[in-house]
Structure 1
C-alpha cells in the first residue's frame, strides 16, 4: 500500500480495494482498483488531501463533465463519492493500452497506417460529439487519449474543459491553461478558442505519434509557445521518412496557424483523415514489394468474398516470369518483370500499357510510384523511368546481378546486388550516397524498420545499418537466406524479425528499442525457431498475431507470432516458391504445379482454388478487390468477384 499520508484506505467506501498507483497529477492520484461489488477492475481518481479551491473546482468540473457525456470515444465514469477522510473520488474505465502515441512512430506497414488513421478518426468523432455538446477540452495530450485493450482510443481528463452556457459562442478569451507542447496558437496567446483549437492540439498529438517527436521543442514553455504561434512545423515525412505523404499532408492541415484554415469541426476533420486513409490504400502501400518496407506481405483492399472469385482477364507478356519476381501494383498500373529483358506495365483493366527495356533479365521485384518506376536487371543496372513518357531519369550501375527490390527510404533508394553490396542512391540523380559490403551475395530484398536498414546475405548474416548514413549497427548469423525476411511489432518498443533460411528453419529474432534504434536483444536474441524440414524460397507473411510460411515441400503453415506454435497446416501438391500474401482475413498462395488458392487465415480452410497447366513462382498481388497472378510462362491473370 502507498505509504504517503494521502493514500486511500485498503477498502475505500467499503467497495474499492486499491492496488497500485498508475498516475499522478497536481491535484489527484489515479489508482488501479478492484470493485468488490461487481468484481471488475477500475481506475480510481482520488483528490489530494490539501488542494487549492481552484483545483477542487476543476476536479468537480471533470466529474460533472464526464457524467454528461455518453460516447464510445470518451472514457466512461462509473461512480463518485467521498472516502473516510472526506476526499472526493470517482471511478472510471481502466484503459491499459497506453497513451495515443503508442500507435507510432509509424513504420512502413499498411496495417499500422490503417490502425493509426482509424484510431485518429475515432478521436475526431468523439471531439465532434464533445463540441456539439458545447464543450472545448483545451488540454488534449497523448496521455489524455488512452487506448483500451481493444486498441480503441478514449478521451479523458476534462479538468480544463470550457463549458458554454445557453447560446453563448464556443469561444472565450484570456485562457492559456494547457500543455505547451500541444497548445494551439490562439490558446497560447490567450485568444478566442473553439472546436478548431482542440483539433490543433490533436494534430500535435498525431504528430508526436507518427514521428516520435512533438512538433516544437524548446528550452522553456515560452520558447515552445512562440514556435506554435509563429513557426511552421517540419513536415512529418521529413522527421520520419516512413510517414506516407497523405498522412503528413493531413496532419499539417490540423496544424495550420490560422484558426479558419483548420477543419471547422470534428466531422470535417474526419473527412480529411478518411481521404488520407483512402490515398494510402490506393497508392502508397502496393507500390512497395510485399506491401511495404516491413515486407510483411499484407495487402489492403483484397476481395471481400474470395469464394466468388472468377477470371476477369489474362494477358501474355513478352517473356517468362520466374522467382523472385512479383506482381507489384500502384494506383494506375501493374508491373511485372520478365526473363526477356523487359519490364511490362499493365493497366488494371488488363490492357498493355508499356514495355520498358533492360539489358538483361528483370526477375527482381520493382518499386512502382505515382510517377516513376524503379527496377533492376541481371546486368547490375537500376533504372528510374517516368511512367508517363517512358523517359529514363537515371541509371545506377552496380557490379553484379540485381534480383531484389529497390527499397524507397525517404529521398533515397536502397539497392542490393548479388556481389553483397547494399547501395543507397539519391532519388533525383541516382548518384551513390553510401555503400555497405556484406559477407556474401544478397538475394533477399532489404527492409527498413525503426530507421534501420536490414539485409540478409547467403551465408546467413543478418546486417542492421543506419538507413540514412549506412553505418553498421549490428549483425547476427543464422544460416543461408534466399527469401526476404519480414518484421512485425510485438509491443511498444519491441518487434520480431522473422527470418526464413534456405535449410528450412524459420527464426524469430527479438528486437528491442535502444537509443532510438531496434537491435537484437543482447541477452537472448532468439525468440523461437520452427523447422519446416524443407527449403524456404518463399518469404513469410504476418497478419495480426499469425505468421504464414510456405515451403518447397508444398506445406503452408500458420504459426503463432509470439510463441512459434503450430496453429494449422495445409499440404498442397506443388512446391511453394511464390511468397504468400494476406488481405482481409485470407491468405493467397500459389504453387509451382499451377494451383492458386485463397485460404481462411484463421482456420486454414481453402475457400477458393483453381488449377492451371502452368505453375507460379512470382509473388501474387491483392488490391482493389482483385487477385493478380503472374504464371511462369508469362501469362498474367486477374480474378475478381
Structure 2
C-alpha cells in the first residue's frame, strides 16, 4: 500500500475527520500522518467530528506507528471529539459541589456571554437570562452539541438542568434527530437510578431546542475514582447493583445505552445514590440507525468487542461495558490498558484480564466471578440479562451486612433468567441469589400463610383475600416524578401531600385527581411529610438532614432545624407543641414548635428509621437498624423499655390509639405487637410475602394496616390476628400508609410513583 508523500490538504483532513474517505485512501493518509508532525498538528487542530475507528482496528497488524508518535494524541483528539459530538455533555444533569457567583473566567452571573445570546433578558439581575419560563442561573458544562445550564422552573418552582442544542447544529437534521432522541429515550425511562427527563422542547420562536432534566447535586463516578481507587468491595457491589438496576429499566424499554462509563454515572452528594445519565447514544433496538454502517461510537476503554468491530451494540454490549466499569472500580485500573487506541481495542477483542480478586485480594470471589462473566468476549457467554446481574449483586451487597430494602433498587422480575453461557455455574455457586431476590421483593409466593393469634399458635387461613377487594374502593393519583416515599392527608380538605424522591412536595386534589401545588422542599430525597394535629402547618424531613416546618396555606417555610445527617422518621406530639425526629446516626432530636429550640436529644445505637408518639404524649417509640424497639420518656428522653425479637432492621413503629400496644415491623416479614406496660410480646402477625415498610392503626384500634415491599397494603384484625384483606394496585414497593381518621380512609405511597386512596368505611361500619 503506497504511502501519501505530500501533506494532507484541508479537504482531506476534514474528510478524514468525517470518516468519508474510502478505506484504501484512509489507510494511505493515516500512515502518512503517523510520520508527519505537521499533519499531526493540523489534524489535532481540526478534530471536531467523527472517526471511522473500525478501519484502524481492522488493519491493526499492518498499521501501527510507534507508541511515542504524535499520531496517537491526534487520534485521541478525534475520538474525544467524536464522543463529544455524539453525547453532548456527560454532566448534563450534574451539579458540581462547588457553586460560586462567578464563572471560572471571573464574569458575574448576569454578564451574558456570546454563546448565551439566545437567552432573553431576565427581570432578575441574579440570573444570566431567560429561556421561555426558565430563569438561567449558570453554565454547568459544555459539549460538542450544546451547552448545559442550571435553571429555575418558574412554573413548577424547582431547579432543573437544561441541555440546549447548539444553534450551529439546529439546521443539521442528523444532529437535531440525535438530540431529540436523547430526550425521548431518557423520558421513556422512569427509575430511581436514572436521571429523570422532564421535557423536550423548543423555544417559542422554534430556533432553540432544549431538554429539561433533573438537577443532580454530587459528583461523577469518574471523579470519585480519581480521589479514591480502588473502591471498597462493598461499595463496588452497592454502586454496581444500582447501576445495573437503572440499566435494567432502560433495557426493559428496549433502550441500549451504548456508552456506559464512569463519567456517565452520577453519585448524589447526600444519599450516595447512583444516577445513570447521558442516553445520547441510546436508541430503541428496532429504530433506523442515525449513524452510518461501520461507525464506532462510545469510549474505547469501555467498548465491547462487537462495538470495536463496528457491529451493532445491543444489551449484551452494555453488559460488557458495565463489566469494565466494575473491574476498574474493584482494581483501580482498566482491564484493557494500552498506550494507544488501537492497542486498547486489540486487548478488548483478544485478551482477557486478570480476575479482580487476584489483582485486589479484598474483592470477594463471588464479585470477581460476576465481573469476569460480564467481560466474556462472546456476547452469548455473558449473563443473559442485566436484570439477573442486578439480582446477584443485591445478594452480594447483603453479605456485607443488613441493609434497608429502600437501599435495594426496584427490579422488575420479567423472567427466571440467571447468569448464563459459560457462567451458569456462578448462579449455582452464589446460593445467596435467593436471599437477594427476597430482599428485593421479587418472589411472590402463591400461598397465604395466615396470621398468628395471641397465643402464638398459627391461625388457620380461610378465604384468601383478593388483591382487588371490592369492599375497599380506591382512587389512583398517578404521574408523580419518581418514588413517593410518604403521603399524608391534609386535615379538613379533600387533599393529600406527597413527599417525592426528587425533593419536591406535591399537593393533590383527591376528587379531581389533579396536582394543585408543587414546590421544592429539600435537596434530595424527602423521607416524610406529616401534618400538625391541630394547626394548619406540616413538617418534612429529608436526606439533607433538615426538618422543616411549612405553612399549610401559603406553603412558605416557617422554620427549619438541621441535624448532622439524614433524618427519616418524624412525629408531632399529640398536643402539637413538639416534634421528634430520628437521624441516620441514631440521635433523637426533640424540637419546640414555637420557640424553634432543640429541647432534648438522645443517641442510641444504629440508624433510626421510625418514630411515634403515644396518644397521651408521655412516650416516644423509636426503631432502626439495631433490631430493637425502644420506648422513651417524652419529657426527659430517658429510656423506659426496650423490646427485642426482630431478626433484622425495623422500618416502622406505631402506637395503638389507646396507647396499650405498640406495633413494629421491618425486615423478616413479621409484625410484632408489644404490651407497652409489661414489655411483653403479645403477638406475631405473619403472612406478608415481603419485608414490611410501614405500619399504622385505624382510629378505632381494631385493625392494623401495613405496607410492604411486595406492593401490597394489608389490613389485619387485631382481635384474632388474621389478615382481613390485601390491597394491590401498586407495581412495586409501598413505602408508607397514612390514616384519615375522620373519613375512614388510608393513603398508600409507592415506589411506582403512584398514590392510592383506599376507602375503609366497611371496617368502621362493622364496629
TM bin (shorter chain): 0.3 to 0.5
- Which structure has the larger Rg? 2
Structure having the higher helix fraction is 2
Q: TM-score, normalised by structure 2?
A: 0.37
Q: TM-score, normalised by structure 1?
A: 0.43
